[in-house]
Amino acid sequence: MNKKVVIGSRESKLAVLQSQMVKDYIVCRHPQMDVEILTMKTTGDKILDRTLDKIGGKGLFVKELDRALLEGRSQLSVHSLKDMPMEVPEKLPILAFSKREDVRDVLVLPKGCDVLDPLKPIGCSSLRRKLQLKEIYPDMQVKSIRGNLQTRLEKLDSGEYSALVLAAAGLKRLGLENRISRYFDTEEMIPAAGQGILAVQGIDGLDYEFLKGYDDLQAHQAATAERAFVKYLNGGCTSPVAAYGEIKDGQLKLTGLYYEEKTGHYLKGYKTGNPSDAEKLGTSLAKELQERCKVEYKESGLQEDNKKEPGKVWLVGAGPGDVGLFTMKGAQVLEQADVVVYDSLVGQGILTRIPASAKLINVGKRAGHHTMSQEKINQVLADEAKKGNRVVRLKGGDPFLFGRGGEELELLTKEGIPYEVVPGVTSPISVPAYNGIPVTHRDFCSSVHVITGHKRKGMEYDIDFEALVHTKGTLVFLMGITAMEDICSGLMKAGMDPDMPAAVLSKGTTAGQQRVVATVATLKTASDQAKIQTPAIIVVGKVCTLADDFAWYEKLPLAGWKILVTRPKENISRTAALLREKGAEVLELPSISIIPLEDQSRLYQAFSHIRSYDWLVFTSPAGVEVFFRQMEKKKIDLRSLGNAKIAVIGEGTKKKFLERGIYPDFMPSVYDGNTLGKELGALLNGTEKILIPRASLGNRELAEELKKTGAQVDDVPTYETGYVSSPLINEKKEFEEGTIDLAVFTSASTVKGFVESTKGLDYSRVRAACIGKQTRAAADSYGMQTYMSEKATIDSLIELVETLKRSEEKWN
């Protein structure tokens, strides 16, 4: 028998308590054993801004714990069984089930309230609860809420929700039974499979004799039936399937809820059988309810009556690529999307604006390479809207200019699904404009004509070239690069002067913008020599001769450079805006996320005597935001800070105070923690009391410098930094292919976040512009080519980027 056992646990208070219960069982029966608890934050705990069905389901709560078992860092994991996926790896079997705690769901009201507030939503974390709540409270709004139990209760008591629906088991285990306002019986709200049961998981091949006697037979049999029911229906986070098994008088009664996602129909039912046949019972009930649903709704003719209210579809034009050309209405609609159906021609800057909570559907749509047929796309839009979603069809350019938007609307109209069209800036106008070509000019032409250069395979062009030549206007061909030779030949055969100016414009409005100006007779040869790539357009007309004279975009100081700017996902970057003003294509990606600590007891303790502090010292804009957010939560008046002076590390942190009408008293000459500590320390007499609310892994030298003066320093962690990455942009691939010229880092944390998102990248490929010493040191530690701004300010950082660009141009 093992002498030492490590139990893996999520780090929430409830999870640790549940692991402690298993530890106590083992130690009580085997006092000679050394049992430890290893806590870790799972992916599901880190991503709190999206519902589970959008980020991968319940498996995100166990992935890190499974890895610890496989790597031998732990020998057991303890889970709430309802949080475990239905498929469990053979190497990591469930060893035992605990005796079941109260299985019911409960309603929790804010402290001091005894009735529901109809103006605020009920918060709950699962589709299962949402569906059943609509029966119990048909007039109440229901809204998703994520986070551990304490976090949810804090949101409730702060006034965000009228009530929460939670599991009684968790509240009781934490001694919070007094918060329960109402119990839902198991018939009006069927629990999640496994609710109230703890699952102890191990790794195949180890000796677990020390767990003998822990497994509860009735809980084991009930859980087996419940999980078999859900597994057969492929239910979980993405579908509100529910099941509850109860053994009475030697029989197992299984109650289940089946939901048909396509139609929104659902049924409840039950089946009784022998507990020893639990798995068969679960599968049998699932099959029966599935069949009943098909038969009953078909026979009653309720298919149409009981359909969910359809959502709505927006066809949104994303423009030619430059995020600055995305319309304000398009941005507003995109921010509120539940589902985004996007194609390959949408600019990366716009893709980064898709909300993290949205479901993403990539349909390809680049010349010759379609991920999904047009007919299938049409059906996807209709199907997603029928589920009640706000669906954005995000299309490069404009939806109605060779964007096949009309075809997509045909099915929506037929199905009675509401829709709107948001026009986009179209490439036939914008791309020539970015290349100094006005498509009309009264000295050269009085008309412009837009033609598709694409033709169906094996077919001749259905284009009247003679009519186009007779217009004497500017001709713009879209999707015509592969047929350039045929287009130019057709125009010349129709009588166009072979010396007519023509241009091919590639990747317009982006850093990769390229222009070739020639004649109709020579354009194909010149294009091949320049190795022009799609997307590109062909412009034919005398206005093409103006390109060199009118070119403006390429004259901007940072034109032609694609720059990665990393930032906290909560921030809109001033850095990115300034770089875009100077012509850079900016890929603005979140690399870190600010996560307020669940336990703010030390900060609250500081709040209780906030007037006693002489200095409040802030080392980041995030620290300021978290500090004031917690003040609001505890209802602490801003005037309570009147006695304290404010010290900030730099301009960004200072700005956060200025937004609140507070002018900081001190800012160091160099914006880093060491200088802040030394220069502020020089102003102290040693009797001061100082509060530093900041990141849990902040620079310790700041506090040490201040303590040298004799001052009392309360160094209080208020938040931690998490790392995030874009599901749409492959940063690693971009650097490996050399399409990004420079990475701009404004903190050491953003460097680390970037590295987390690009594991396996050869960082010597990365040129990094850094705002200060600590940021540069972080980039240096990974072997990047680093450059540091003269001052630790955004303006100085932009100057550095311009200097690097000029230097490259000089050597080229």
Active-site residue flag, 383: no
For residues 593 and 16, what is the distance between their CA atoms, to the nearest angstrom? 24
Based on the residue annotation, tell me whether 1 is a catalytic residue of this protein.
no
The answer to whether the predicted template modeling score (pTM) of the entire model surpasses 0.75 is: no
**689 phi/psi in degrees, rounded to 5:** -115, 125
Q: Does domain 599-718 have CATH number 3.40.50.10090?
A: yes
Dihedral pair phi/psi, residue 728, rounded to 5°: -110, -25
Count CB atoms within 10 A of the CB of residue 183: 13
CATH 3.40.50.10090 fits 562-594+725-811, yes or no: yes
Residue 105's φ and ψ, nearest 5 degrees, are: -85, 155
* Residue 170: strand, helix, or coil: helix
- Count other Cβ atoms within 10 Å, centred on residue 734: 17
Question: Furthest-apart CA pair in the chain: how many Å?
Answer: 99
Please give the CATH topology (third level) of the domain spanning 312-425: Cobalt-precorrin-4 Transmethylase; domain 1 (3.40.1010)
Closest CA to 803 of 517, 569, 582, 548: 582
Beta carbons within 8 Å of 575's beta carbon, 6+ residues apart: 565, 567, 744, 746, 794, 797, 798
Give the span between the Cα atoms of 273 and 275, in whole angstroms. Answer: 6
- Tell me the C-alpha to C-alpha distance, in Å, between residue 387 and each of 101, 305, 338, 491: 35, 14, 10, 49
Q: What distance in Å separates the CA atoms of residue 671 and residue 182, rounded to the nearest whole number?
A: 54
What would be the CATH architecture of the domain defined by 428-555? 2-Layer Sandwich (3.30)
| pLDDT tens track for 590-622 | 777 778 888 898 999 999 999 999 999 999 888
The answer to whether the CB of 588 falls within 8 A of the CB of 349 is: yes
CATH superfamily of 105-183: Periplasmic binding protein-like II (3.40.190.10)
Regions of the chain where pLDDT drops below 70: 1-2, 42-61, 234-239, 261-264, 296-309, 365-371, 455-460, 568-572, 699, 810-812
From CA 482, how far away is CA 729, in angstroms rounded? 27
Instruction: Catalytic residue, from 102, 343, 398, 741: name it.
Output: 343
The residues pairing with 10 across neighbouring beta strands, listed in sequence order, are 40
Question: In this structure, what token pair is assigned to residue 513?
Answer: 């913008």
pLDDT in tens, 153-193: 988 998 889 999 999 998 998 899 999 999 999 888 999 99
**Distance between CA 584 and CA 595 in Å, rounded?**
31
Question: What number of residues does the chain have?
Answer: 812
Identify the CA nearest to 259 among candidates 215, 289, 304, 222.
289
Q: Which fold has domain 1-102+193-215?
A: D-Maltodextrin-Binding Protein; domain 2 (3.40.190)
Q: Which residues of 363-389 are buried (b: 16+ CB within 10 A; e: fewer)?
A: bebebeeeebeeeebbebbbbbbbbeb
Q: What angle do CA 627, 52, 694 make, to 5 degrees?
A: 15
Produce one character per residue of 282-316: b if its CB has 16 or more CB atoms within 10 Å, e if not. bbbbbebbeeebeeebeeeeeeeeeeeebbbbbbb
Q: The tokens of 667 are what?
A: 């800012």
Token readout for 554 is 């390429």
| Catalytic-residue membership of 34 | no
Buried b / exposed e along 328-345 (16+ C-beta atoms within 10 A): eebeebbeebbbbbbbeb
pLDDT value at residue 344: 82
Give the Cα separation of 73 and 7 in Å (integer): 9
- Range(s) within the chain of domains with CATH label 3.30.950.10: 428-555
Residue span(s) of the chain under CATH 3.40.190.10 come to 1-102+193-215, 105-183
Where do the CATH 3.40.1010.10 domains begin and end in the chain?
A: 312-425
d(CA 257, CA 192): 10
Instruction: For residues 397 and 537, give the distance between their C-alpha atoms in angstroms, rounded to a whole number.
Output: 12
Considering the chain, tell me which residue range(s) the CATH 3.40.50.10090 domain(s) occupy. Answer: 562-594+725-811, 599-718
Catalytic residue among 84, 86, 189, 479: 479
Q: How far apart are CA 297 and CA 263, in angstroms?
A: 10
Bridge-partner residues for 78, per DSSP?
200
Q: Among residues 23, 54, 82, 365, which one is catalytic?
A: 365
